Chain A
Amino acid sequence: MANTKKTVLASLLGETTLVRGISSILIFLVIWQIGALCDDWFGVDILGIGLVPPPTDVFIAFLDVIPKVGYWQSWVASFSRVLTGFIVAMIIGIPFGLLLAVNRYFRGVFFPPFEILRPIPPLAWVPASLIFWPTNEMSIAFVTFLGAFFTIVINVLGGARAINISYLRAAQSMGASQFDLFWKIILPGTLPSIFTGAAVGMGITWEVVLAAEMISGGGTQGGGGLGFFIWSSYMGGSLEQIVVGMISIGIAGYLSSSAIRKIGYLLMPWKRLF
């Protein structure tokens, strides 16, 4: 696999995905810079993004917030909310989805209410949970949990139901007990779907946590979270800082999904074939 011949295009674009990734980001930044400054330079807003601060200004704003404790507290606040909601959703969602898949009585009882609650967007839960939960922090965690929970359950359920029946039959013929079937066949067979659900769920969690932070005012601790960071930048009229907040979320989301991919890679060696 390592002895692939380099094509001209490949050597132009660089050998590694890292180089390719960095060059594409740089190209994007250059276009953004030109687009943002067109109006100043030529008096014409060619790309229609003349109001957007150029990357250089955003970079300066970034340097400005990096030493500030509040900015990092926002990171910590948002990350801990995302992780809390996400981990609770995994802990409850995976067994719940597996039970829905393997036990038809359980499915008969719990699937209908689940399906009625599932289409409700997590953000629609915000007002009710602000009233219901004693603290803002708990409301945000709850809404975050919902964001990931439904996606994880539906993926686990689908994945477990889609397991090739021949695997189950083969295992049973070879003398597998119910315990073996669950732990050695159904669980590994569902693992890819669990990770798909986790990756999608993680994305939704970030969406939800940000919106919830904006709506609820970010809670009471020092850092109100990245959502609140953006919101207060908007209130303060700092366009550059809004973009800093947005990029921070992008990086945070990227780090989260990379972590999930990494764990998936470690847990599913048979999926490393490509």
Chain B
Amino acid sequence: MEMLERPGALSIKNVTKVYDPEGVNVKAVDNCSMEIAGGEVCMIVGPSGCGKTTLLNAIAGFHSITEGSIHLDNQLLCGPEKPIAPQGADRMVVFQHGALFPWKTLQENVAYGPTVQKTLGAKEAMNKAGDMLAEAGLGNFVTRYPGEVSSGMARRAEIVRALINDPKVLLLDEPYRAMDALTKQIMHEALLETYDRTGVTIFFITHDLEEAIFLGDKVHIVTTRPCQLKKTVEVKIPRPRSYETQSSEDFRKLLVEVNEAVHEEAVKAFQAGERELA
């Protein structure tokens, strides 16, 4: 596979986001730059409330940016003349708390994108959704409502719902937060399997450092608010990775490296929180 030709390259240049420019002036993101190659798994790690989600929202087109620009495959998403990116199926978000529509079955949820985009007829969309869910191991649950399945299954279905739209970038905002370690492990294996199959670019926000290293090609550590790129750690552990990878010496070394950088920021974030309360 020619690495350079893969779609889904994100270029984030000097992005600044100030909330409420007239009023309180909270700078969520400050002059943040990142280059994400097409087909790369890019993990964003940083303290809580540091502005990672703001960055994701800017890429997805949910929020405007104040300065800077974001390009997807050399096409401008948002920039000085165009502060808010258009929302589009080329960038699919998997939300922090899950956003499967509770009133639709898993299959209907997955079929939603192609149906409203009219890329497929209603029946074909349902068939494709059923096939893709089966491929993700959810074949027996296609007629279930999201409230009837476990959070792990719901999250897998949500990723399928994103993938059916054939996105260039998958934006994940702490999708496995609050899952137990065993479920997480299964989720990671499923995501890696999906990645190996699709090669989609993954922009993944997390607090879990082991998750970041295990899944990522690169781990971007960002500072506490305002969010800036602090350090990038390249994960040179070959794929496919398995859970044994986590006990390897390389993995441990990377973990220490990432941990040091993150810890510093976490302390800063904590102290800033104390100042705000004092």
Q: Does A265 contact B (CB under 8 A)?
A: no
Of the residues A171, A175, A180, A191, contact of B103 by C-beta under 8 Å: A191
Of the residues A164, A176, A270, contact of B145 by C-beta under 8 Å: A270
Which chain B residues lie closer than 8 Å to A189 at the CB level?
101, 103
Which chain B residues lie closer than 8 Å to A173 at the CB level?
60-61, 87-89, 91-93
Q: Does A3 contact B (CB under 8 A)?
A: no
Interface positions, chain A 176-221, Cβ under 8 Å from B, are 176-177, 180, 184-185, 188-189, 191
Interface positions, chain B 85-142, Cβ under 8 Å from A, are 87-89, 91-93, 95-99, 101-104, 112-113, 116-117
Interchain CA distance A180-B113 in the complex, whole Å? 11
Of the residues B102, B112, B145, B147, contact of A174 by C-beta under 8 Å: B112
Q: Does B62 contact A (CB under 8 A)?
A: yes
Which chain A residues lie closer than 8 Å to B102 at the CB level?
270
Interface positions, chain A 154-178, Cβ under 8 Å from B, are 164, 166-167, 169-177
Chain B interface size range: 20 to 34
**Is the contact region of chain A dominated by helix, strand, or loop, or is it mixed?**
helix
Which chain B residues lie closer than 8 Å to A191 at the CB level?
103
Which chain B residues lie closer than 8 Å to A188 at the CB level?
101, 103
Q: A270 contacts B117, CB within 8 Å? A: no
Which chain A residues lie closer than 8 Å to B104 at the CB level?
270
Q: Does B64 contact A (CB under 8 A)?
A: no
Asked, given contacts A270-B102, A270-B103, whether A171 binds B145 with beta carbons under 8 Å apart, the answer is no
Give B88's nearest chain A residue, CB to CB: A173
Give A269's nearest chain B residue, CB to CB: B145
5 A-B pairs with the lowest CB-CB distances in the bound complex, closest first: A166-B99, A174-B113, A175-B117, A188-B103, A270-B145
- Please list the residues of chain A having a beta carbon within 8 angstroms of any beta carbon in chain B: 164, 166-167, 169-177, 180, 184-185, 188-189, 191, 268-270, 273
30 inter-chain pairs at a CB distance below 8 angstroms, sorted by A residue, are A166-B95, A166-B97, A169-B62, A169-B95, A170-B93, A170-B161, A173-B61, A173-B87, A173-B88, A173-B91, A173-B92, A173-B93, A174-B89, A174-B112, A174-B117, A175-B89, A175-B116, A175-B117, A176-B112, A177-B116, A188-B101, A188-B103, A189-B101, A268-B103, A269-B145, A270-B103, A270-B145, A270-B147, A273-B145, A273-B148
